[in-house]
Amino acid sequence: MNYDVVIIGGGAAGLSAALMLTRARRSVLVVDGAEPRNKPAAHMHNYLSRDGLSPLDLLKLGRAEVEGYGGEIVNDTVRGVTKVDDGFAVALSGRVVTAKRLLVATGLVDEVPDFLRERWGRDVFSCPYCHGYEVRDQKLVVFGDEMKVALVRQWSGDVTHVPSVDGVEVEDDRLVAVVSGGERVPADALVYSAPVKPRDEFLLALGAETEETPFGPFVRTDAKGRTSVPGVYAAGNVTDPSAIVIVAAAQGAQAAGMINMDLISACP
Domains of the chain by residue range: 2-110+195-266, 114-192
Pairwise CA distance, residues 98 & 178, whole Å:
52
Query: Biggest alpha carbon distance in the chain?
Result: 70
| pTM for the whole structure | 0.95
Do the beta carbons of residue 149 and residue 142 sit within 8 Å?
A: yes
Contacts with 35 (C-beta within 8 Å, 6 or more apart), sequence order: none
pLDDT of residue 184 exceeding 70: yes
pLDDT band of 35, cuts 50, 70, 90: confident
Phi and psi at residue 22, in whole multiples of 5°? -70, -35
Q: What percent of the chain has pLDDT over 90?
A: 83
Q: Within 96-210, where are the H helices?
A: 114-117, 128-131, 148-152, 201-205
Closest CA to 66 of 3, 13, 19: 19
Task: Give, as one character, the DSSP assignment of residue 135.
Answer: G
Rounded to the nearest 10 degrees, the angle between the axes of helix 55-68 and helix 12-23 is: 20
Q: Per DSSP, what are the bridge partners of residue 72? A: 29
pLDDT at res. 172: 78
For the 2-110+195-266 domain, the top CATH level (class) is alpha beta
pLDDT at res. 239: 98
Mean pLDDT for the chain?
A: 95
pLDDT of residue 78 exceeding 90: yes
Pairwise CA distance, residues 136 & 249, whole Å:
27
Closest CA to 56 of 72, 69, 38, 76: 38
- CATH number for the domain running over 114-192: 3.50.50.60
* CA dihedral angle for residue 118, residue 123, residue 126, residue 128, rounded to 10 degrees: 160
Q: Answer with the residue of higher pLDDT: 256 or 267.
A: 256
pLDDT of residue 144 exceeding 90: no
pLDDT at res. 266: 87
Pairwise CA distance, residues 138 & 125, whole Å:
14
Digit-coded pLDDT (tens) for 42-66: 999 999 999 999 999 999 999 999 9
Task: Give, as one character, the DSSP assignment of residue 133.
Answer: G
Helix (H) or strand (E) holding 218: strand 216-219
Digit-coded pLDDT (tens) for 2-32: 999 999 999 999 999 999 999 999 999 999 9
Does 2-110+195-266 match 114-192 in CATH topology? Answer: yes
Average pLDDT over residues 84-96: 95
Average pLDDT over residues 117-123: 91
pLDDT at res. 64: 98
Helix (H) or strand (E) holding 14: helix 12-23
Strand, helix or coil for residue 157: coil
The radius of gyration of the chain from alpha carbons, rounded to an integer in Å, stands at: 20
pLDDT of residue 268 exceeding 70: no
Residue type, 102: L
